[in-house]
Structure 1
Amino acid sequence: MLVGLGLLVVLLVMALVLPLFWRVSPTAVDLSHALAPPSPAHPMGTDGNGRDVLARFNAGARVSLLIGLTVAVVGAIIGGTIGIIGGIRGGAVDAVLMRGMDAILAFPPLVLAMAVTVGLGPGAATATWGIVLISIPWYARIVRSEVLRIRSQQFVYAAVTMGASPVRVVRRHILPHLVPTVLTQAAGVFSYGILAMAGLGFLGLGVQVPTADWGSMITEGLEYALGGQWWISTFPGLGVLAVTAAAAIIADNGREAFSRPGERAGG
């Protein structure tokens, strides 16, 4: 857990604090210093247009972290609401909602995100909505499962017997018990959101120029990689690797920490 949090803190510092000291525009073109290797003047080198890779890395980090957070939060709100409604209402309502989630899950996630982005037009906003769409069933399924489990507990039966309304039961007795599950799922979705946006950016469907994005930076750097200019694509690639690994570590540790004693004992 501490390793994952440490990696995220480092990336957040680079994205939010370092630009206060490294005042270089990520879009400033200087062809006289194109393809310069890492040096004190350019710690991560420059790209084919002479743009500072460190400045672009920081800008890409801000974009990627914001998109990952947006996907995790919006997906949790929409998917969590669907899961709660399905788990509480049951019957035909639950069946219809879950069949809708199954329809989304029938498509490979990245392919569906690509289809949404192409249909609405390439860009950061449309790509984000495409990734949000594929995250909704992940939340809905796991929240519904937890709601069904919590509904079977004696304290819920006691609240219903005492005349508590469905809204009160959800607000006072179910939602608090869903928080650990949703937070753990959100860490994984946050990681996937950043990875998926990098993939869409690699294909030219995500963040558009001149805005910096890790995926597009990797794409731009590939044409120079065979010529020895490894730094253009390596540093954003390491950024994607670091943030996804950090979120995965947090998600795994959170799942273990929040697991029920009986489940943990049973393996």
Structure 2
Amino acid sequence: MRRIFAHLARDHELLLGAFLFGVIIFLAVFGRLIWPVDPLRVDVLNSLMPPSLAHPMGTDDVGRDVLARFIQGAQVSIGVAIGVTIAGTLIGGTLGLVAGLVGGWVDAVVSRAMDAILAFPPLILAMAVAIGLGPGILSAAIGVILAAIPWYYRLLRSEVLRLRTLMYVESARALGASNLRLIRLHILPQTTSTIFIQASSVFSFSILTLAALGFVGLGIQPPIPEWGTMITEGLAYALTGQWWLGVFPGLGIFALAVSANLIADRLRDIYDPKSGAQLSI
């Protein structure tokens, strides 16, 4: 962590990513206190109003405040993306640690299952799961988690295969250390930074995929605001001059995805500049 703060002072890309990410997080956490407007309140008489002091991001087709919906959309998108990232890390990372350390038929079976999942493009896989389970926030989250698990698995498995051959790990095993003790004391501490960097990339992937699912109607369902769904609702008015309906949620997705990718890229360069090809999704 001290190394990250030291780089912030001279790394403009990392500073820009942290700033953008911090602004979006600040809006998601404190936005409702700063702008205490009900995002579901309908006011047909003030529908499709352009940005103004009363409505800084304008209103939608039924008079709902776009800024209030943008803030709640940030809360929903970020909350689901964080949950997806944590779940993917725990499931995929655990499978990778166990398969890499135990080896044998366990490694073979789990690796073939991960290869089967990787045969599908991540977005197509997430869409297929959402269609099979039915549109909604839970099915969208499950689809994105399933798409993210193999990337954690491959990353952690490769790290374990490398670390298990090191002298101090072999010495600990020879002295009778269990697999759980090896993971807890000797392997997991060496992979923490790698997991964190991959989590940043998966967070960005989750934001984009959730927005894409919402855009095609398979994600979070109205009336709950979600950036992808808001863009879809704004498409009907894109040619009639109501640009603010789709532009502001689009900018939110862009800023959050770019900032997460910038942070992941710069952290990768700081901790392990040779591992860039592995840490992606």
| Same fold, TM-score > 0.5, yes or no | yes
Alignment correspondent of 2:250: 237
In structure 1, which of residues 257, 260, 263 is the aligned counterpart of residue 270 of structure 2?
257
**Equivalent in the alignment of 1:225:** 238
CA distance in 2, matches of 1:91, 1:162: 22
Please list the CA deviations of residues 205-233 of structure 1 after superposition, one character each: whole Å capped at 9, or x if unmatched.
Answer: 11111100000000000110111110000
Q: Distance in 2 between matches of 1:86 and 1:13?
A: 39
Q: Does 1:183 align with 2:196?
A: yes
Q: Distance in 2 between matches of 1:34 and 1:159?
A: 68
Deviation string, structure 1 residues 233-264 (Cα, Å, up to 9, x no partner) = 0000000000000110011011111117xx48
- Which residue of 48, 56, 74 maps to 2:87? 74
Tell me which residue corresponds to 1:119: 132
* Poorly superposed stretches of 4+, deviation over 6 Å: none
State the TM-score, normalized to the length of structure 1.
0.96
Structure 1 residue aligned with 2:5: none
After superposition, give the CA deviation of every residue in 1:188-215 in whole Å (9 maximum; x if it has no partner). Answer: 0000001000000000111111100000
**Equivalences, count:** 262
Give the match for residue 51 of structure 2. Answer: 38
The answer to whether structure 1 residue 18 and structure 2 residue 21 are counterparts is no
Aligned counterpart, 1:129: 142
Structure 1 residue 47 and structure 2 residue 60: aligned? yes
Distance 1:154 1:256 in 2: 27
Q: Following the alignment from structure 2 to structure 1, what is the Cα–Cα distance between the partners of residues 97 and 204?
A: 24
Take 1:32 and 1:255, find their aligned partners in 2: how far apart are those partners?
51
Are positions 1:144 and 2:157 aligned together? yes
Does 190-199 or 151-160 show the bigger shift?
Answer: 151-160
The alpha carbon displacement at 1:163 in A equals 2.1
RMSD over equivalenced CA pairs, Å: 1.1
Letter in 1 for 2:86: V
Q: What does 1:157-168 correspond to in 2, within 5 Å?
A: 157-168=170-181
| Secondary structure of 1:226 counterpart | helix
Q: Report the TM-score, using the length of structure 2 for normalisation.
A: 0.91
The Cα shift of 1:166 comes to 1.7
Give ranges in structure 2 of 5+ residues lacking alignment.
1-13, 276-281
Report SS of the residue matched to 1:85. helix
Identity %: 53
SS of the aligned residue for 1:144 comes to helix
Which amino acid in structure 2 is aligned with residue 122 of structure 1?
Answer: P
Structure 1 residue runs without a partner (length 5+): none
Q: Secondary structure at the match of 2:237?
A: helix
